Amino acid sequence: MSSSAGYRDDGSSRLPGVGVGRRAGLESDSGAAYDVLVDDLAARGVDVASVGERLRAQRLETPSWGYGNTGTRFGVFPQPGVPRDPFEKVSDAAEVHRLTGVCPTVAIHIPWDRVQDFSELKEHAESQGVGIGAVNPNLFQEHEYRLGSVCHPDPAVRRKATDHLLECIGVAGEVGSYVLSLWFADGTNYAGQDSFVERRHRMLDCLSEAYGAMPDGMRMLLEYKPYEPAFYHTDLADWGASLTLCQRLGDQARVLVDLGHHAKEVNIEYVVALLLDEERLGGFHFNNRKYGDDDLIVGSVNPFELFLIYVELLAAEDSGVQIDYMLDQTHNIEPKMEAMILSVMNLQEAYAKALLVNRGALTEARRSGDVLGAHRILLDAYATDVRPLCARTRGELGGSPDPIAAFKESGYLERMAEERKEGVQAGWG
């Protein structure tokens, strides 16, 4: 049997806790790979120190629901060690932060993460070195919401939905969060079922009330999605629907882009640029998809698209716009914490590559109409192996250069599987 090209499997390439055939050094912060990269970047005129500084400032929020059991409508596969309550989910998020150094907050979903005393959850998070981030109201599971929540034809159901939004604003206050992140399952399944415009007006009324109740400094993020669970129309179907509603609500209402929530051929980097130019991009839900809202590991399907999105996002950083970068994934068959760590690494790499784009040369190529010259400037950055730089960054932040290996070696999962073997694991519902 022949070995794959360029690799020898004589055992010398094995790292403890890492699968067979992995090259050593790619996630190492010391050694030749890093030095070669730095030399190469310096020769290309890259200011490596400032790239390092930007990388160290990257922040990514992980979702509490990404640590619990999830699945599809066909089934849910439980995994050993899965948290049983919001406190344990926060502990897992804190472990991801310890290993990567860039995930200091965790998003919560209410009622999935409802606890008796939210100040206790906040204290628990702080004791673990993290904070609570976006608060996500859940307006899609209760039976009253069959025809929608804030768009429901019955005012009593809209009242209930609005009260939940108000409750979540209160929760945000208790946990020290300044982000109310909204996704609505509202929509219809059949043509003629309800009036598009009336539903939109109902939503605007409910959201205006919630918006008015937000304290200073709190932001409302409005996520859109073209279909599912509604199959004929969704009340916030695309970026235009979210943007125009935000414009009606006020400056603290911003659009949230979830990478899984577009029709298949939509140019997401273009949407990002446009929303940034309108100063209305407020949040991101990172994940990846092949077909629908698959919630797979970000960068696993289309890493080039992710890079191009970051190329646009850099403009936001230059203008100082606040964007909350969050992961929104469900790890159905893959180990959850390892999946989260890999996602973070993929985001660090995409960001690092975007930072390497030679902006001056790009502007010049664009001005002179050098179509492929401009394109190749992006390709050059994308083709750079930035893993040693990202590894160095994690180490500098107190995390681990190779966080997946460190996670496996730590025995955390085995300990949790033992500690959490009694009781009911957290999951949807």
What does the DSSP assignment read for 140-204? SSSGGGGG-STT-SSHHHHHHHHHHHHHHHHHHHHHT--EEEE----EESSTTSS-HHHHHHHHH
Our CB check for ligand RM4 shows the closer of 157 and 256 to be: 256
Structure tokens at 304: 């080039």
The option from Mn ion, ligand RM4, none interacting with 136 (CB < 5 to 8 A, set by class) reads ligand RM4
Three-state DSSP class for residue 134: strand
Binding mask 221-260 for ligand RM4 (x = CB under 6 A): --x-x--------------------------------x--
- Chain residues 204-223 in contact with ligand RM4, contact rule CB under 6 A: 223
- Chain residues 232-261 in contact with Mn ion, contact rule CB under 5 A: 258
Radius of gyration of the chain (CA): 22
Our CB check for Mn ion shows the closer of 328 and 402 to be: 328
Our CB check for ligand RM4 shows the closer of 291 and 367 to be: 291
The option from ligand RM4, Mn ion, none interacting with 349 (CB < 5 to 8 A, set by class) reads none
Binding mask 265-304 for ligand RM4 (x = CB under 6 A): --------------------x-------x-----------
Burial category of 28 from C-beta neighbours within 10 Å (exposed 0-12, middle 13-18, buried 19 and up):
buried
Contact status, residue 409 vs residue 18, Cβ threshold 8 Å:
no
What is d(CA 314, CA 311) in angstroms, rounded to the nearest whole number? 6
Q: Applying CB under 5 A, which of residues 95, 328, 349, 402 lies at the interface with Mn ion?
A: 328
What is d(CA 67, CA 82) in angstroms, rounded to the nearest whole number? 7
- Residue (of 149, 213, 211, 220) closest to 180 by Cα position: 220
Our CB check for ligand RM4 shows the closer of 27 and 293 to be: 293
Q: Applying CB under 6 A, which of residues 183, 184, 351, 412 lies at the interface with ligand RM4?
A: 183
- Residue (of 409, 399, 354) closest to 95 by Cα position: 399
Shortest distance, CB of residue 140 to ligand RM4, whole angstroms? 8
Our CB check for ligand RM4 shows the closer of 140 and 232 to be: 140
Count of chain residues binding Mn ion (CB under 5 A): 4
- Chain residues 83-142 in contact with ligand RM4, contact rule CB under 6 A: 136
The helix (run of H) or strand (run of E) holding residue 133 is strand 131-137
Q: Bridge-partner residues for 62, per DSSP?
A: 106
* Site for ligand RM4 contains 27 (CB under 6 A): no
Phi, psi of 113 (to 5 degrees): -110, 25
- Chain residues 307-336 in contact with ligand RM4, contact rule CB under 6 A: 328
Our CB check for ligand RM4 shows the closer of 113 and 293 to be: 293
What is d(CA 159, CA 206) in angstroms, rounded to the nearest whole number? 8
Shortest distance, CB of residue 161 to ligand RM4, whole angstroms? 15
Shortest distance, CB of residue 278 to ligand RM4, whole angstroms? 21
Contact status, residue 103 vs residue 96, Cβ threshold 8 Å:
yes
Binding residues (CB under 6 A) for ligand RM4: these are 136, 183, 223, 225, 258, 285, 293, 328
